[in-house]
Amino acid sequence: MQLSRRMRMLASMVTAGNTLADIGTDHAYIPIFLRQEGVIASAIAMDVRKGPLQRAAAHIEEAGLSEYIETRLSDGLEMLACDEADTILIAGMGGPLMNRILAAKPEVAKQAKELILQPQSEIGETRAFLAQAGFEMQQEEILREDGKYYFMMRVTPGNPYALTPLQREFGPLLLKRREPELLEFLEREKRQCGEILEKLSSADNERTERRRAQIQARIGLIDEARRLF
């Protein structure tokens, strides 16, 4: 099965031999790929919507993997019991929604051996949530595909810890290893922030002033991160 670079990267982060729960599975491409490659023992492909789940079931059947991959209608982790999955994969949704999914069933999330996460937005909020909830960062990746940057992380249950503002926004492990693609991301972010400031320069009201201060604060963080490279 052909996967996008983003999906292939996510698949590569799953520990071999584990049982996978793919939350928001959509077409079930990652569980199918991982089972075809012999990486996982079995999987539960879960989605809150009946349509995508039916498509997932059809793809699983076409691949001849119905014996190994179960489909399950579920709102987040709602229909997943403790100890049913070693790896929980949640990708392609906004960070706040991802946080709510994990917070709704903390006992299930904490029983997994690892979480593979790829928030689409508010990534700093997800990092902060994970730190406070005690999910320790084991791996972080950044990937550019079709002009968009994707941040992916593998975390394991542990103890709460603190993140600096820089780590929260740009990833502690990415910063530590001075990831080249992170530097590219930072350069693009600074350019975009500059363009926003230029557009705001013609307006003069309280709301604009607050927005201008937020953008300037982010530029400060970006510059601080760039100095590490």
pLDDT band, residue 150 (cuts 50/70/90):
very high
| CATH level 3 topology of 5-162 | Rossmann fold (3.40.50)
Predicted confidence (pLDDT) per residue in 52-107, tens digit: 999 999 999 999 999 999 999 999 999 999 999 999 999 999 999 999 999 999 99
The H or E element containing residue 77 is none
Phi, psi of 68 (to 5 degrees): -110, -25
Rounded Cα–Cα distance for residues 97 and 63 (Å): 31
**More confident position, 220 or 208:** 220
Domain ranges of the chain: 5-162, 181-226
Residues 19, 24, 30: CA angle, nearest 5 degrees? 50
